[in-house]
Amino acid sequence: MTGQPAASDIEERSPAPVPEVVRVWSGVWPVFELFVAAERVWRYPPLGGPPMGLDWGQVRALADGYGVPWSRETLTLLQAAEAEAARIWTAEWKRRNPPTGGRSRHIRRQLGGAYGEA
């Protein structure tokens, strides 16, 4: 017993996860920082589900606090980030919460396969 792990123990361990790298242009850094700070001001539907969008009144207050100008460019960049984040969260929510028969089957037929069904 040498105090070193056996070769089989090393092979069974999974490698440490590699952190994701996000590269942000310096010109949009303040808006990116604002978007990250706004993570707690999303609006959610009352009966559960993925977030519907940002609470823009609270985002405006954050922008003032962070010193980010409330301009057309800021709004355009934030709206693009909001739309992409909402799309990702909605897809993940649908993946984790697939429809389960009953009324949802009827709704899927009416929507013409919106849940990936023909």
Q: Count the domains in the chain.
A: 1
Tell me whether residue 6 is in a domain.
no
Among 14-18, 63-67, 92-96, 98-102, the least confident range: 14-18
Tell me whether residue 118 is in a domain.
no
Tell me whether residue 18 is in a domain.
no
Cα dist. 47→43, 53, 108 in Å? 12, 15, 19
pLDDT at residue number 116 = 54
Q: pLDDT per residue over 18-72, tens digit each?
A: 778 878 888 899 999 999 999 999 999 998 889 999 999 999 999 999 999 999 9
Distance between CA 44 and CA 63 in Å, rounded?
21
pLDDT for residue 97 is more than 60: yes
Q: Which domain holds residue 52?
A: 23-111
Tell me whether residue 17 is in a domain.
no
pTM of the model: 0.64
pLDDT for residue 10 is more than 80: no
Tell me whether residue 106 is in a domain.
yes
pLDDT at residue number 79 = 96
Tell me whether residue 58 is in a domain.
yes
pLDDT at residue number 88 = 93
What's the gap between Cα 69 and its chain centre?
24
pLDDT for residue 107 is more than 70: no
Q: What is the DSSP letter of 102?
A: T
Tell me whether residue 1 is in a domain.
no
